[in-house]
Amino acid sequence: MNSPCLSNAELIDLEIFAAQIRIKTIEMIAAVGKGHVGGSMSIADAVAVLYGSAMRYDPANPKWKMRDRLVYSKGHSGPALYAALAIKGFFPQEWLKRMNQIGSNLPSHVHARLTPGVDVSTGSLGQGLSVAVGLAMADRLDGRDSYVYCVMGDGECQEGQVWEAAMFAGNHILNRLIVLVDNNKRQCSGELKKINDVGDLGRKFKDFGFDVFEVNGHDLAQIDVAIRQAKQNTFKPSVIILDTIKGKGCSFAEQMADNHNITVNTEQAVAAVKILETRIDDLNDKRERGHVNEN
């Protein structure tokens, strides 16, 4: 049974992990020169909570039968997931240097046969929730107590297949399915509102039989609590709508109108990484002070 919430020290560790994910993501994309900065940054905090606190997994045994599974349906944001998997030891951090280069095990969109820890290949938006529903149903039929997580984009929710899968999950009460929607309000080339508004996603998922949690997607404690509550939910599947900012925490991207898939040069990367490293130093100081106060 999970404890009801994170301690201060655990929260600081998670914040450091999230900053490390951002650093490695920026370095990875700078090494190849171009990549999906915006959506990797907006989902970095949720990925940190998934791999830093929520999910059951064994990096030494990525195919462990009793693991929780993540269907990373917004597969173009691969870099944030690769950073987390490498930091947690699924594969050598050296691999990150060759992300999306010829012969690499880390293509820009995630690939289950190439990357240890990636359960499902994604990239064609709209399909991941259907796979997650199938995995959750298989767990139920096989009597496993694993959870299936599905990370989706808000633009991705424009796809009709998402709602077919949601209907099935609600009708079959797949209560071990936990969906996280990166609600950064932007897609490839602008605002969802102006292109094809998905409206109130929370209300829509509720109508399809989900329990809905709406949280600040950059507040690690809020995300963690929502996942803990979703896990206790035995009556419905859950969706956590993450209110996020595309490009969050990346100095050169956060204020850009279009930061979806952008070029990144070394100077930009060095400056952005420096800010994040300072944040990690501050967090380490905070943890030290916490220890002093506790003694």
Ligand X SMILES: Cc1ncc(C[n+]2csc(CCOP(=O)(O)OP(=O)(O)O)c2C)c(N)n1
| Residue 182 interacts with ligand X (CB under 6 A): yes or no | yes
Shortest gap between Cβ of 232 and ligand X (angstroms)?
28
Query: Which range touches ligand X (CB under 6 A), out of 16-24, 134-142, 181-189, 208-216?
Result: 181-189
- Which residue in 35, 107, 117, 126 binds ligand X (CB under 6 A)? 126
| # chain residues binding ligand X, by CB under 6 A | 20
Dist. CA 133–CA 292, nearest whole Å: 47
Q: Give the closest residue to 40 by CA, choosing from 279, 260, 221, 287.
A: 260
Shortest Cβ 184–ligand X spacing (Å): 5
Would you state the structure tokens that stand for residue 197, as one six-digit string?
């508004």
Return all residues near 157 (Cβ < 8 A) that are at least 6 apart.
181, 198, 201, 204
What whole-number distance in Å separates Cα of residue 130 and Cα of residue 120? 11
156 binds ligand X (CB under 6 A): yes
Q: Which of the residues 215 through 244 are near ligand X (CB under 6 A)? A: none
Binding part of the chain for ligand X, among 12-20, 56-64, 149-157, 162-170 by CB under 6 A, reads 149-157
**Contacting ligand X (CB under 6 A), which of 5, 9, 188, 271?**
188
Of 20, 100, 108, 187, which one interacts with ligand X (CB under 6 A)?
Answer: 187
Binding mask 73-102 for ligand X (x = CB under 6 A): -x-xx-------------------------
The two three-digit tokens of residue 283, written as one number:
């967090």
* 124 lies in the site for ligand X, by CB under 6 A: yes
Indicate left, alpha or beta for 58 from its phi (over 0: left) and psi (-120 to 50: alpha): beta
C-beta separation of 110 from 123 below 8 A? yes
Nearer to ligand X, 67 or 76 (CB): 76
Beta bridge partners of 240: 180, 213
Tell me how far, at minimum, the Cβ of 186 lies from ligand X, in Å.
5
**DSSP letter string, 236-257:** S-EEEEEE--TTTT-TTTTT-S
Among the candidate windows 179-187, 199-207, 220-228, 273-281, which touches ligand X by CB under 6 A?
179-187
Q: Assess 247 for contact with ligand X (CB under 6 A).
A: no
Q: Which of 123, 134, 190, 290 binds ligand X (CB under 6 A)?
A: 123
Half-sphere exposure of 264 (CA within 13 A, CB side): 30
Task: Give the gyration radius of the chain's Cα atoms.
Answer: 18
Question: What is the β-pairing status of strands 69-72 and 177-183?
Answer: unpaired
- Reduced to 3 states (helix: H, G, I; strand: E, B; else coil), residue 127 is coil
* Chain positions contacting ligand X, by CB under 6 A: 38-39, 42, 74, 76-77, 123-126, 153-156, 182, 184, 186-188, 246
